Amino acid sequence: MKQLAPTELSAWLADPARERPLLLDVREPWEYQLCHIDGSVHVPMGAIPARFAELDPEAEIVVVCHHGGRSAQVGMFLERQGFRHVINLSGGVAGWAAQVDPAMPQY
């Protein structure tokens, strides 16, 4: 599975010539409420097996969690279900806060 650094995702989101990926945040509800990347869709990791059919298997999906571990697991699961364009945000929202948005709350 591809990995994407927070700075690379930031550049992608800022590029009007590129189609925006689906940002799939798989953290727990309390984590998502504390902080998240604007425009992300929240589906907790535990709900993915029951809800992955809601996602477009042809879409570019960047999976997000706190540090990148849970999102990698979800990404591998999605790939096994036939999703072809899954990318893990390396460093997760912690990396995003450190490298892109220092005003983002951290935990």
What are the two backbone dihedrals, phi and then psi, of residue 56, each rounded to the nearest 5 degrees? -85, 115
For the segment 59-88, what is each residue's pLDDT rounded down to a tens digit?
999 999 999 999 999 999 999 999 999 999
Q: pTM, whole model, 2 decimals?
A: 0.97
Per-residue model confidence (pLDDT) at position 76: 98
Contacts of residues 15-23 at CB distance under 8 Å and 24 or more positions apart, as own/partner, are: 19/60, 21/59, 21/60, 21/61, 21/62, 21/87, 22/55, 22/56, 22/59, 22/60, 22/61, 22/62, 23/62, 23/64
Domains of the chain in start order, with CATH, are 2-99 (3.40.250.10)
For the segment 23-56, what is each residue's pLDDT rounded down to a tens digit?
999 999 999 999 999 999 999 999 999 999 999 9
Per-residue model confidence (pLDDT) at position 87: 98
Cross-strand pairs, 89? 4
Closest Cα partner for 91 from 100, 83, 82?
100
